[in-house]
A and B are shown apart, each in its own frame.
Chain A
Amino acid sequence: MREYRLLPQDSVRSHPASYERFVERGFERAVRRAQSLSPGELIRDVSDAGILGRGGAAFPTGRKWASVADAPFSPKYVVMNADESEPGTFKDRVLLMDDPLGALTGMIIAARAVGAQRGYVYIRGEYQDVEARVADALAMLKEHGFLGDGFSIEIRRGAGAYIAGEETALFNSIEGRRPEPRVKPPFPTVHGLFGKPTLIQNVETLANVAVLLSESVAWFREKGTEKTPGTKLVCLSGAVKNPGVYEVAFGIPLKDILFSEALGGGLAPGRTLRTVLLGGAAGTFLTPQELDEAQYDYPSLRRLGASIGSGAAMVFDDTVAVEDVLKLLAHFFADESCGQCVPCRVGTRRLVELLDSPDGFDDAERLRDLGRAMQDASICGLGQTAPLALLSYMDRPTLWKRSAV
């Protein structure tokens, strides 16, 4: 039930940033193998493995690589997005602390595939321990000659803005500008960092590339489903016995993540499940019935209007009113909106005011019109997804209970 591909087994004892770890985890083998393959063969392997982006959007990684590789301009850049900073999402922190060389190996391989000379690791500023760990790992890779010759990587630190994790805002941040999202298209694959073709990937996506190249496409596809091969890191938090980061194969029953002894371990005695917020702060509230039926895979969740998102699963029992959770989420998005576009700048504030007012939930039409306008007309994913959890709650009357039991 619990998988160990991206995360090392407990028996792996070498220092996470050491050369021993690099060899023990097969990453050295992965880099050597990548060096023996042409860029085209690397892109083919990644496409055949069926890796989907793990940052939330689930875009086919191979297609993204091909697009950057085919873009006519140079230089090209590879960026690792480690600006994880959403309530309930904490997998990249664990992954980079426990096994930083996986994602960095993925970056080295990606640079070869797309023809990049320079890479950036953009780390959330609050993750100082992670930054130090990544810096150690980079120093080791340089010392052993895996970096510095044709491809180098720099660390860039965020300064406390969630919006800087939006890929184009992240580019602006690296460039020294205000982290406001840019309009797309043009997409980063052709017009990204410094206006050049840029491959930007989530930490976990790059770690998948490393384990793929250390083994084979057939091995990679042994886990997961036909359409979504591989494993996923789940950030399980809230009212379960064993919250934490778990690696699971795509397609396992969603309820197993909560209730299996090897994973969540169920709820505390005497408590009953009220809802799970799946996908992150901009996720979907699922009812216990929906949870029973669903598999942890994109097509299954799509039928419920839900998605895996960043891999977050926040569990709430019957002591929690969903309305209170929605208020906290509304405050989060209002605090983190950059303020560039009207639907998000004003809309996130109005959501806070409406939900905080005693009768704010009563005017459903006003809430829905606002939510839909934000979803439809905001520039970037922050504003577009800020109302999703609220809209999912409004669609599920069984979750409506205005006070805690």
Chain B
Amino acid sequence: MADITLTIDGVQVTVPEGSTVREACSHSGDAPPVLCFHDNLTAANACRACVVEVEGSRALVASCSRQAEPDMVVHTRSERVVNARRVVAELLASTSDISLAPSVQELLAANAGDAARYRTGATWEQPVLDDNRLYVRDYAKCILCYRCVEACGEDAQNTFAITVAGRGFEAHIDAGFGRAMPDSDCVFCGNCVAVCPTGALIDRSEYTLRQAGAWQEDAITTTETVCSYCGVGCDLELHVLDNQVVKVTSPMDHPVTHGMLCVKGRYAYQYVQIEDEMPERA
């Protein structure tokens, strides 16, 4: 494919045709920050953290999905861009619990945001939804990035168990008419948990340990292995704390899984750590 040249913050950048503006930005400097964007998912365009200024365009543009065009002139750190990013971070911090959302915290800090500035009323504070054995939903932490919806739908699992319901400030993730997950179409693959950037969706094992104050991120080691359930050959990362598997993921850049697993690979690991005595053979 042909190359195109554009100007980013005064620097000429040449990238392959079809690159996004964000990809082009990463050639000349830091890629714009993202909250909702995920390499393995369709760009949702929802968070607006990655906006940049393109000369000739009235509004700012989302660099995660806008294709780079020849002779585009892009500004990634203009006053308008910084204001938009700062306000986006402040609005999210005023609404959701961002304690387990490093990307939102970084956006707030990088743009000198004040988490309390728009705390003028409604929040998404709500009870934790604890309705199944494999994961917990704490939507007070949700930022409505759409990643879970996309992983559940066309981008990975094709189950379509969840979607966005309601509108405006009341928009939220829903499994259909407010149903609990066991009553929904959910197959418990946990791919939504794998892509959640804020801890709103969290594995039960991690949730339980965090509640007990026993989750020690620094003490966790990971061991790579291959899933033993079927012949697909999914790469697994076993996250081990105190000689116990506490979480299973797959590398997002793995050519087979792209980070996505099934219910067995992600959650059916208990057998690994049951230390039955082998019956002695006579």
- Neighbour of A339 across the interface among B84, B91, B144, CB < 8 A: B144
Contact in complex: A379, B168 (CB < 8 Å): no
Contact in complex: B168, A349 (CB < 8 Å): yes
Contact in complex: B84, A345 (CB < 8 Å): no
Distance of A107 from chain B, by nearest CB (Å): 29
Contact in complex: B171, A338 (CB < 8 Å): yes
Return chain A residues, CB-CB under 8 Å to B84: 343, 372-373, 376-377
A150 to B273, CA, bound (A): 69
Distance of A261 from chain B, by nearest CB (Å): 39
- Neighbour of B171 across the interface among A339, A353, A376, CB < 8 A: A339
Tally of contacts, chain A with chain B, CB under 8 A: 118
Contact in complex: B46, A350 (CB < 8 Å): no
Give the contacts of B31-76 with A (CB-CB under 8 A).
Answer: 43, 45-49, 51, 59-60, 62, 65-67
Interface size class of A (residues with CB under 8 A): 35 or more
A338 to B166, CA, bound (A): 8
Is B94 among interface residues, defined by CB-CB distance under 8 A? yes
Return chain B residues, CB-CB under 8 Å to A353: 120-122
Is A178 among interface residues, defined by CB-CB distance under 8 A? yes
Contact in complex: A343, B62 (CB < 8 Å): no
B80: nearest residue on chain A (CB-CB)? Answer: A376
Query: Given contacts A183-B62, A346-B95, A349-B121, are A376 and B51 in contact (CB under 8 A)?
Result: yes
A345 to B118, CA, bound (A): 13
A368: nearest residue on chain B (CB-CB)? Answer: B83
Return chain B residues, CB-CB under 8 Å to A201: none
Distance of B55 from chain A, by nearest CB (Å): 14
Distance of B57 from chain A, by nearest CB (Å): 10
* Binary CB contact string for chain A from 25 to 47 against chain B (1 if under 8 A, 0 otherwise): 00000000000000000000000
Query: Given contacts A339-B144, A350-B91, A375-B59, are A369 and B83 in contact (CB under 8 A)?
Result: yes
- Neighbour of A335 across the interface among B48, B144, B168, CB < 8 A: B168
Contact in complex: A349, B122 (CB < 8 Å): yes
* Binary CB contact string for chain A from 333 to 348 against chain B (1 if under 8 A, 0 otherwise): 0111111111101111
Is B241 among interface residues, defined by CB-CB distance under 8 A? no
Return chain A residues, CB-CB under 8 Å to B143: 342
- Residue tally, chain B, CB below 8 Å to A: 38
Interface-central residue, A183, A185, A378, by most chain B CB under 10 Å: A183
- Neighbour of B169 across the interface among A161, A348, A354, A370, CB < 8 A: A348
Contact in complex: A376, B59 (CB < 8 Å): yes
Return chain A residues, CB-CB under 8 Å to B60: 376-377
Contact in complex: A336, B168 (CB < 8 Å): yes
- Neighbour of B45 across the interface among A178, A338, A379, CB < 8 A: A379
A180 to B62, CA, bound (A): 16
Return chain A residues, CB-CB under 8 Å to B66: 183, 185
A270 to B120, CA, bound (A): 40
Is B3 among interface residues, defined by CB-CB distance under 8 A? no
Return chain B residues, CB-CB under 8 Å to A384: 59
B81: nearest residue on chain A (CB-CB)? Answer: A376
Interface-central residue, A336, A343, A346, A375, by most chain B CB under 10 Å: A346
- Neighbour of A373 across the interface among B87, B94, B166, CB < 8 A: B87
Is B164 among interface residues, defined by CB-CB distance under 8 A? yes
Query: Given contacts A373-B88, A376-B51, are A345 and B169 in contact (CB under 8 A)?
Result: yes
Return chain A residues, CB-CB under 8 Å to B92: 342, 346
Contact in complex: A342, B121 (CB < 8 Å): no
A185 to B143, CA, bound (A): 25
- Neighbour of A338 across the interface among B80, B86, B121, B168, CB < 8 A: B168
Return chain B residues, CB-CB under 8 Å to A163: 167
Is A15 among interface residues, defined by CB-CB distance under 8 A? no
Contact in complex: B167, A339 (CB < 8 Å): yes
Return chain A residues, CB-CB under 8 Å to B169: 334, 337, 339, 345-346, 348-349
Interface-central residue, B92, B94, B168, B170, by most chain A CB under 10 Å: B168
Query: Given contacts A346-B91, A354-B120, are A338 and B167 in contact (CB under 8 A)?
Result: yes
Return chain A residues, CB-CB under 8 Å to B77: none
Is B27 among interface residues, defined by CB-CB distance under 8 A? no
Return chain B residues, CB-CB under 8 Å to A9: none
Contact in complex: B47, A337 (CB < 8 Å): no
Interface-central residue, A163, A340, A369, by most chain B CB under 10 Å: A340
Return chain B residues, CB-CB under 8 Å to A339: 144, 164, 166-171
A334 to B163, CA, bound (A): 21
Query: Given contacts A343-B84, A384-B59, are A350 and B118 in contact (CB under 8 A)?
Result: yes
Return chain B residues, CB-CB under 8 Å to A350: 91, 94, 118, 120-121
Contact in complex: B48, A379 (CB < 8 Å): yes
Give the contacts of A258-293 with B (CB-CB under 8 A).
Answer: none
Return chain A residues, CB-CB under 8 Å to B95: 346
- Neighbour of A343 across the interface among B88, B163, B164, CB < 8 A: B88
Contact in complex: B46, A342 (CB < 8 Å): yes
Contact in complex: A377, B91 (CB < 8 Å): no
Contact in complex: A340, B120 (CB < 8 Å): no
Return chain A residues, CB-CB under 8 Å to B117: 366
Return chain B residues, CB-CB under 8 Å to A403: none
Contact in complex: B171, A341 (CB < 8 Å): no
B84: nearest residue on chain A (CB-CB)? Answer: A377
Give the contacts of B147-191 with A (CB-CB under 8 A).
Answer: 163-164, 166-171
Contact in complex: A342, B48 (CB < 8 Å): yes
A180 to B48, CA, bound (A): 15
Interface-central residue, B60, B62, B143, B166, by most chain A CB under 10 Å: B60
A370 to B164, CA, bound (A): 25
- Neighbour of A341 across the interface among B46, B65, B83, B87, CB < 8 A: B46
Name the 3 nearest CB pairs between A and B, nearest first: A339-B171, A373-B87, A346-B91
Residues of A within 8 A of B (CB): 161, 163, 178, 180, 183, 185, 334-343, 345-350, 353-354, 357, 366, 369-370, 372-373, 375-379, 384
29 interchain pairs, CB-CB under 8 A: A163-B167, A183-B45, A337-B167, A337-B168, A338-B167, A338-B171, A339-B170, A339-B171, A340-B45, A340-B46, A340-B164, A341-B46, A341-B47, A342-B49, A342-B91, A342-B92, A349-B121, A349-B169, A350-B91, A350-B94, A357-B120, A373-B87, A373-B88, A376-B60, A376-B83, A377-B51, A377-B60, A377-B84, A377-B87
